[in-house]
Chains A and B, each alone.
Chain A
Amino acid sequence: MNKLERLLSEISSYTEDHPYLRYITEVIDTIRSIVFEPGVSAEESPFLRDYIEIKRYMFAVVVAVAPAALASIYFYGWRALAMIVVSYVAGGIAEVGFTLIRKEEITEGFLVTGILFPLILPPNTPLWMVAVGIIIGVILGKEVFGGTGYNIFNPALVGRVFLTITFPVAMSSEWLIPLTGGWAGFNQFSVDTVTSATPLGVFANAGTLAPLRELFLGNIPGCLGESSALLVLAGGIFLMLARIIDWRVPVSYLGSVFLFSALGMYLWPNQVAPPLFQLLAGGLMFGAMYMATDPVSSPTTKEAKWVYGVFLGVMTVSIRAFSGYPEGVMFSILLMNMFAPLFDEMVMTLRYGPIEKPYK
């Protein structure tokens, strides 16, 4: 291990002075800092520091979605893995390229975006579209704002919504029927049993409901990672217990969807689906656990988190019921991302009063 460390630092010091290779020094240094945590001592108080760090913080999310990602291979074959790989490679190149041009440090945020993005795509998305989507998401959704920590919108959702609007035919008209039984998708590369709609689409067109048990376990067509509510929920609960995500957002989001769909079902029985169906169908569970809770693009103050969650629920139920799209989770999260800074600012004004003299 010491050999590896020495090798990396030798490469790094060699490339530093090289006329062409110096551009990749940052990459070498990043690899070095990922492999070896430097034993740096705190120079100012507090001298005791928590062992948690951003790499671990981000990696916990990857661990939490891993069951859902494995399930997507089980349901849709190895092509699902190919999509994840394409997403990591294309997005990684975009991310590293951008940071190298801007001469900045490479940060770990992409670890999460790279796996969440393919999991919210339909299983038969062409691989080139996966690449286009993740590049748009990383560059327009994150890097132009200055990289991880500064993005206003969830980068994975920016990519997803871009694809939805840009390629409506590929993204929402054909869905695959998942495989079940035995080794299912672990035995084959892709699935070719095509259907025209997800349970939410079926409800919007014909008004029939899919059985809840299937929705819960995952035997229904949908996006890669969204199909099994059970696994998504398990990952989300793990993240909440580990405090990586704040429990307030999922609780208020799911709660408000339940409440408003119950209310809506009473008022417009033909358009609003029943609460339990709403909770389990489509990307709601996935969105509530992994997308809406993205700390950077959601509000930070506790009060604002509640407001954010409630608004998310209202938006999701109304888009699902009344708009041209059967699924409203990604639109509502993107929409509320837009209001997150406003909610935070309002909470701060309530808590601390207005700014006496506005900045110049």
Chain B
Amino acid sequence: MRYISILIAAIFAHNIALRYFLGWCPLVSQSKKLSSAWGMGVAVTLVMTVTSAVNWPVYNYLLVPYGLEYLQYIAFIIVIASTVQVLEMVIERFFPSLYTTMGVFLPLITVNCAILGVSLFMILRDYTLLTGIVYALGSGIGWSVAIVSLASIREKLRFADVPKPLQGPGITMLIAGIMAFAFLGFSGMVGIK
């Protein structure tokens, strides 16, 4: 039950994109097309889950015992960069069809702050390994929900007559604002801890 509530909380009430503003650079740039939004969403969910599964032991068994917590940023960023590299190679080797649809998004993910953010939140909130992974999975799904719905809205907006200065990023931020309003309805729904 605890895992389910954390999962739901991470998707809705504590949506990583709409509540904590993470991963917005790719959200703005990759949400022009629905097809690429799906690819990006799947890729981010995957990388987020895998990196938090690696980062947790790295932090708790490598950094904490030697009092090196202040090196967490450096450690995490190395883990993320190498995980993405490994994941890319694995997918290319064993799932070539998946690679053709998703491969292009993987390198973009290294600089996605949502990935680093999830690992940092995981440490800040003292999750166990399993809750950390569930939280990362939920955050990934939540981020995907945001990018996919944003992309479908932007596809519909191609027909709309948006004022010129607002086209593109401007209107995306306003939509995000209204989306964030809607997501506030979930506040207080389920605890994140």
Q: Hey, which bits of chain A sit against chain B, CB under 8 A?
A: 102, 104, 140-141, 144-147, 150, 152-153, 158, 161-162, 165, 315, 318-319, 322-325, 328, 330-332, 334-335, 337-339, 341-342, 344-345, 358-359
Q: How big is chain B's contact interface, by range? A: 20 to 34
Task: List 17 other contacts, CB 8 Å, given A319-B189, A323-B189.
Answer: A140-B178, A145-B157, A150-B157, A150-B159, A150-B160, A150-B161, A161-B181, A322-B190, A323-B186, A325-B187, A328-B185, A334-B178, A335-B183, A335-B185, A342-B149, A345-B152, A359-B33
Residues of B within 8 A of A165 (CB): 181, 184
Q: Does B29 contact A (CB under 8 A)?
A: no
Are B186 and A145 in contact, with the CB atoms below 8 A?
Answer: no
Q: Hey, which bits of chain B sit against chain A, CB under 8 A?
A: 13, 33-35, 148-149, 152-153, 155-157, 159-163, 166, 171, 174-175, 177-179, 181-190
Alpha-carbon distance A342/B144, docked complex (angstroms): 13
Residues of A within 8 A of B182 (CB): 161, 331, 334-335, 337-338
Are B163 and A102 in contact, with the CB atoms below 8 A?
Answer: yes
Alpha-carbon distance A158/B186, docked complex (angstroms): 16
The listed residue (B34, B153, B157) touching A338 by CB distance below 8 A is B153
Are A152 and B185 in contact, with the CB atoms below 8 A?
Answer: no
Are B33 and A332 in contact, with the CB atoms below 8 A?
Answer: no
CB distance from A249 to the nearest CB of B (A): 18
Residues of A within 8 A of B149 (CB): 338-339, 341-342
Do most interface residues of chain B lie in helix, strand or loop, or is the interface mixed? helix
CB distance from A155 to the nearest CB of B (A): 10
Q: Which of B148, B181, B188 is most buried by chain A, counting CB atoms within 10 A of its CB?
A: B181
Residues of A within 8 A of B178 (CB): 140-141, 152-153, 158, 161, 334, 338
CB distance from A105 to the nearest CB of B (A): 11
In the complex with contacts A144-B163, A331-B184, A335-B183, A341-B174 CB distance below 8 A: no
CB distance from B27 to the nearest CB of A (A): 14
CB distance from A111 to the nearest CB of B (A): 20
Residues of A within 8 A of B155 (CB): 341, 345
Are A158 and B34 in contact, with the CB atoms below 8 A?
Answer: no
Are A152 and B148 in contact, with the CB atoms below 8 A?
Answer: no
Alpha-carbon distance A342/B153, docked complex (angstroms): 7
In the complex with contacts A165-B181, A334-B182, A140-B174 CB distance below 8 A: yes
Are A152 and B153 in contact, with the CB atoms below 8 A?
Answer: yes
Alpha-carbon distance A221/B114, docked complex (angstroms): 44
The listed residue (B33, B166, B185) touching A325 by CB distance below 8 A is B185
Alpha-carbon distance A102/B148, docked complex (angstroms): 31
Residues of B within 8 A of A341 (CB): 149, 152-153, 155-156
Alpha-carbon distance A104/B178, docked complex (angstroms): 25
Alpha-carbon distance A141/B175, docked complex (angstroms): 9
Residues of B within 8 A of A104 (CB): 161
Residues of A within 8 A of B162 (CB): 144-146, 150
Alpha-carbon distance A260/B30, docked complex (angstroms): 36
Are A145 and B160 in contact, with the CB atoms below 8 A?
Answer: yes
Q: Which of B153, B159, B162, B188 is most buried by chain A, counting CB atoms within 10 A of its CB?
A: B153
